[in-house]
Structure formats: structure tokens, C-alpha cells
Amino acid sequence: MYEFGEKTESYLLVGVQMGSQEEALDSLAELRELARTAGAKVLGTVLQAREEPHPATYVGKGKLEELLDLLNETEADGIICDDELTPAQLNNLERELSCKVIDRTLLILDIFAGRAVSSEGKLQVELAQLKYRAARLVGLRNSLSRLGGGIGTRGPGEKKLEMDRRLIHERIGRLKRELAEVERHRDVIRAGRKKGSLKVAALVGYSCAGKSSLENALTRSDIYEDDLLFSTLDTTTRVLDLPGKQELLLTDTVGFIRKLPHHLIEAFKGTLEEAKYADILIHVVDAAAPGMDERMQVVYDTLRELEVKNKTVVTVFNKADKLEAPRTFRDFRADYSVTLSAKTGEGLSGLTDILEDILSRDQIYVERLIPYGRAGVLQLIRSKGRLLEEEYLPEGISIRAQVPREIYHMV
């Protein structure tokens, strides 16, 4: 009788501290979570304080010897470095340590490959992986050609590594064309939303801040959610019915993370640009997370890189149920701030009130006598604006309402 099962790989985490120790430890803690998300077991960590990573081996010679002893002692399958390695660093580390070497970028790409569901998501992940591997084809061949697979081999995988650079670049060109077609389709959808006069609010934030949980709580949906990083990659859009009977489109986006690989930002630009074309940004923050301020800064930096600007920003401090004592938070870079718990529902009404207030700012107050033959316009007002009062008279329906400028001529 033979039993077959997937082997859990074990790794040592390796980081270089170029700033404060606290920041470096936070980054390594996040790397541990990334490894856990990828299904790896972490056996230990090695941190070296340097002005910059060693150009040849990432860490210095003494730390490299210490790392080799630790690998022999723990019998770990390999190491995961907390930065993106150059091809030379990758080759040298594999040669010196004789083990599997993975950097932060490859680890994130592997997680994305395992989480991509839609055809667009798979195209985006494959494009990012191929761009990364094209420059590291020789170095990666040794660590990724072993039988048994493991972390770093999902997605395009081994067959792509057997191609030469010319074939990989041809594949990259085809993927770019396919994604351009997907982007044109996305533009058509955005144009349809704009024509329908519905405002769009994009959920943005650090990975694992609770964006999917908040979307589920607000729209009563069942979007997949868990406590792992990058639990959802594909954009989801749901209609949010506000208490005042107005409607708003709520769109989720992929979570951000410190040291987010440039390849991913480029590949997922179409998805991330949902924030660029939204009317409102809902910045979801994990209020109970250590290093909350640094995570918020990562989000703002990424939005700036995507050229997302001049938006109404609502910062939501989520997971209030995990706080030891009630607190009031404030984001001075946002137009509004609210503290809530998507899990318990506490404070959700405060967020919907803010969203209604934002929609009302761009509306015009009208008083009309609507003939009964045009009674259907009342439903339009209810869905797009706010019907404040209606009175049925012999000559028609007398109304007082607030309507968006886009439908003012239709009332």
C-alpha cells in the first residue's frame, strides 16, 4: 500500500536590515505570512544589518556561512529572501548553499498563480511570471526543474523554463495583446456604468485588511474571504443599496503589500485601475494590525504610482472588534474617516451615511409635478437620487427630490 501526499516544504527566511530594526522585523513577519499562504513551513529567520544587500550574495560572507550551518542543522529545503534578488545573487546563493532559493517577488507570484481564478487573472499572473523569469532563466533552471514541484513552480511552470528567451518574449507579446483586448472590454463596461449614471466606489487597501468582508457585509454577498494574504485577486463588483434608496456600485481590488513587485503592478494595471476610474475610494485599514501607519503609507504610495488622484477618499478603520478598547481613528489625508467592524456589523451605518452624504453633494434639489403618464421617472429618481417627498394629486404626482446632474434633464 502506497500513500501519496503533497510534501510541505520548509524554509529559512533571510532579510537585510537597511533601516530600523522594527521595520525589518515587520517585513520579515509579513514574509512569514506570505510563506504560510503559499503552504510553506518556516523553520527560522536570519537577519543581517547592512547599508545595502551584498551585490553578489545578498548577505555577507560570514552570514552566508552561518546560513549554511543553519540549513544543515534544520534540514530546510531552501531559503526565502525578503527582497527581489538579481540574477547574479540568485545564481551565487544557489551555488554556495546548494538549496532552493526563492525571493519575495517569486513567492508573491507563486501565491498569485495559485489564487488566480478568472481567465484575465491567469493571463496577468502568467505575464508577470514570464517577465520575471525571462531575466533569470539560467539561475531558475536549477531550482525549479526538480521533480516534485513546490513553491515557485505554479503557473507557467517548468515547460516555460525549457524555452529560450526568444520564445518567452513571443509569449509575453501574445499575453500583452490578449490583456489589451480584455482591457478594451473593461473600458466598454466602465462606459456603460458611466452612461447608467451610477457612481462607483472602489475598495482599496493593504492585503488582508478586510475588503472582501466589508463588501460582503454591505452588499450581502458571499465573496470568498479568509485571513490569508491575497485571498482574492479577481475584481468583483456588486450593487450597494443605501438606506435612502440610492444605489452605488462597489468594486473590490487586489490588495497592496510592501515591496509589491513591479511586474505585478504592470500586469495587474487594468485591474488596479478600477481605483483610477472610480468616483469614490474606500480605503480599508486593519485597525488592529501592527504597523498600521506604515501599511496606510504603502497604499497611498501605490495609488500615487497608479496616478490615482483627485478622488473623494473615505478611510475605513476595520476590525474594531479586535481592539482591546474602543478607539477613534482619523486619517488626515482622507475626506472622511469611520471606525467599524465588517465582521460584527458595528459602525456600518456610519459608512453608509457618509456614502449617502457624498452622493448628495453632487445632486440638484428639484420640485416637480409629474404627470401620471410619466410615473416611471419616480423609480429612476429612487435608484439614482433621493425622493424626499411625493404627493398624489388629481393632476399628477407632486415631488421634492435630489437628483444627480446626469439625470436632471430627464426629470
Q: Which amino acid type is present at position 176? A: K
What kind and span of H or E run contains 252? strand 247-252
Task: Write the pLDDT tens digit of every residue in 287-301.
Answer: 998 889 989 999 999
- Of 71, 77, 84, the C-alpha closest to 41 is 77
Q: Distance between CA atoms of 342 and 287, rounded to whole angstroms?
A: 12
CA dihedral over 142, 148, 149, 150, signed as positive or negative: negative
Q: Are 120 and 136 in contact (CB under 8 A)?
A: no
d(CA 387, CA 247): 13
Q: What percent of the chain has pLDDT over 70?
A: 83
Q: How far apart are CA 282 and CA 310, in angstroms?
A: 14
Quick check: 195 pLDDT over 60? no
Highest mean pLDDT: which range of 80-84, 161-165, 234-238: 80-84
User: Which residue's C-alpha cell is 523553520?
Assistant: 43
pLDDT at 141 over 90: no
Q: What is the pLDDT of residues 260-273, one digit of tens each?
A: 777 677 666 666 76
Each residue's pLDDT tens digit, 169-181: 888 888 888 888 8
70 falls in which pLDDT band (50, 70, 90)? very high
Q: Is the pLDDT of residue 112 over 90?
A: no
Q: How far is CA 26 from the centre of its chain?
A: 19
- Rounded to an integer, the average pLDDT of 103-112 is 88
Tell me the one-letter amino acid at 140.
Answer: L
Q: Is the pLDDT of residue 53 over 90?
A: yes
Q: How far apart are CA 15 and CA 96, in angstroms?
A: 17
Q: What is the pLDDT of residue 145?
A: 46
Task: Give me the mean pLDDT over the 329-356 stretch.
Answer: 92
**Average pLDDT of the residues of the chain:** 82
Give the pLDDT band (50/70/90) at residue 122.
confident
Q: Are 311 and 281 in contact (CB under 8 A)?
A: yes
More confident residue, 58 or 308: 58
- Residue that is written with C-alpha cell 452624504 in the block: 357
In this structure, the strands spanning 280-286 and 200-205 are parallel
Residue 147 confidence (pLDDT): 42
Q: Which of 255-259, 268-272, 302-306, 397-401 has the lowest mean pLDDT?
A: 268-272
| Strands ordered across the beta sheet of 100-103 | 41-49, 10-17, 78-81, 100-103
User: What average pLDDT does the segment 206-223 reach?
Assistant: 86
Going by pLDDT thresholds of 50, 70 and 90, the confidence category of residue 144 is very low
Q: How confident is the model at residue 111 (pLDDT cuts 50, 70, 90)?
A: confident
What whole-number distance in Å separates Cα of residue 356 and Cα of residue 43?
50
CA distance 336 to 172: 42
pLDDT score, position 180: 81
Per-residue pLDDT, 231:
62
Encode pLDDT of 15-30 as tens digits.
999 988 888 998 899 9
Whole-prediction pTM: 0.75
Q: What are phi and psi of 404, to 5 degrees?
A: -65, 155
At residue 319, the pLDDT reads 93
